[in-house]
Amino acid sequence: MSGSVLITTDLLSQSDVSRIAQVAKVYTMQQLEKEPDSILPQVDVLIIGRWPKSLDIKKMTSLKMVQSLFAGVDMLPFKEIPGSVIICSNAGAYSYEVAEHAVALMLAAAHAICISGSSDKFTMDEFSELTKISRTIYGKTAGIIGYGGIGKAFQSFLKGFNMKFLAYVRKMQTENSEVTMLQGRDGLESLLQQSDVILLSIPLTKRTKGMIGKDQLNIMKEDAIIVNVARGDIVDAKSMAEHLKKHPSFIYASDVGWRIDNKEIGNPQGLFTGLKNYVTTPHIAGLLSSSTGRPSAYAADNVIRFLSGKEPLNKVDREEY
């Protein structure tokens, strides 16, 4: 099969656009603006970054596939996209860089890198406060919630740290004997209780929204670290802020904020103001990946695979969103 592809994002590199143009007719947003009524009904494949608000999907009567440039697809308007359309995420394209960012967040938080004073204030006076935060990771237990590309890369980066690994999974995976797989409600509880570090690397879906709330935090170790490189809304913001206030040795280190009014917010309602045990970066892990060109190449490969009649990768189970 060949067909027509509408590219609505500038995250696709010029060379990847050219590769797609060799097997399909390519339309850009500029072209679409001029002749929407003739182009929209022709489009077989839609490639998107952020969902373009102006896009009139009802007119896309030939649409067969939506390819996201992002790994997470929780922000797509699922209800508006007809059920017959295949939706593909870009899972895997960001795994190495996001996993390395997770290790960086974990170690920076554990070693109090950002809170232990500026160069102007080079003093050991605050050591008693520092001792609440600073700790080593070597030999500790890591629990990985969502054991996909990011979770596996996180584990492999930490090979030199002599850690014990637990993974919360939906389907048992047998290829890796260095990790203990846990399933179901009991499995999750067991992981939360045993882990010194917990990585959230699971998609945001109906099931996972708010999955880390008061009850989960309360069974964790008092000085655990949660590292979130997935989505803020997997964690209940209010419960987390309260928990951090009560437990000064508990750390939340996150590259992702909460989604409020279509914006990503690091400190909703000022809940986290002044909390030294909250370390955050403004969703920058993806930036590292984009510079590799991999997200663009992965997405283009998948579209070309689909256009040539093969089964695309990363098909999203729409019922979960």
Integer Cα distance of 102 and 157 in angstroms? 10
Please answer whether residues 5 and 26 qualify as being in contact, where contact means their C-beta atoms are separated by less than 8 angstroms: yes
Burial (CB < 10 A; 0-12, 13-18, 19+), residue 276, is: middle
CA dist 290 and 278 (Å) reads 26
| Single-letter code of the amino acid located at 179 | V
Tokens standing for 175?
């290829």
Residue 189's identity, in one-letter code, is E
Residue 79 interacts with a copy of itself (CB under 8 A): yes or no: no
- Region of 1-9, 41-49, 99-107, 302-310 interacting with a copy of itself (CB under 8 A): 99-107
CA–CA separation, 33 vs 16, rounded Å?
22
Q: Which of 44, 97, 233, 236 contacts a copy of itself by CB under 8 A?
A: 97
# residues near a copy of itself by CB under 8 A: 56
Q: Does 250 bind a copy of itself (CB under 8 A)?
A: no
Contacts of 141 (CB under 8 A, 6+ apart): 163, 164, 165, 166, 194, 195, 196, 197
Taking alpha carbons only, the member of 30, 253, 260, 94 closest to residue 6 is: 30
Window 252 to 291, contacts with a copy of itself (CB under 8 A): 257, 264-267, 270, 272-273, 278-285, 287-288, 291
**CB of residue 46 vs a copy of itself: minimum separation in angstroms?**
24
DSSP notation for 250-269: -EEEES--EEETTEEESSGG
**Closer by beta carbon to a copy of itself, 101 or else 231:** 101
Rounded to whole angstroms, the Cα distance separating 166 from 195 reads 8
Q: Which stretch binds a copy of itself (CB under 8 A): 1-9, 21-29, 156-164, 313-321?
A: 156-164
The answer to whether 199 contacts a copy of itself (rule: CB under 8 A) is no
Binding to a copy of itself by residue 182, rule CB under 8 A? no
Q: According to the binding rule CB under 8 A, does residue 319 interact with a copy of itself? A: no
Helix (H) or strand (E) holding 68: strand 65-68
Choosing from 2, 15, 31, 156, the residue that interacts with a copy of itself (CB under 8 A) is: 156
Residue 116 binds a copy of itself (CB under 8 A): yes
Determine the length of the chain: 321
| 85 touches a copy of itself by CB under 8 A | no
Q: Does 136 bind a copy of itself (CB under 8 A)?
A: yes
In angstroms, what is the minimal distance from the CB of 141 to a copy of itself? 16
- By CB under 8 A, the residues from 288 to 317 that bind a copy of itself are 288, 291
Is residue 95 involved in binding a copy of itself (CB under 8 A)?
A: no
Q: Given CA atoms 110, 115, 118, 121 in this order, what sign does their dihedral have?
A: negative
Binding site for a copy of itself (CB under 8 A): 96-97, 100-101, 103-105, 107-108, 110-114, 116-124, 127, 130-131, 134-138, 156-161, 257, 264-267, 270, 272-273, 278-285, 287-288, 291
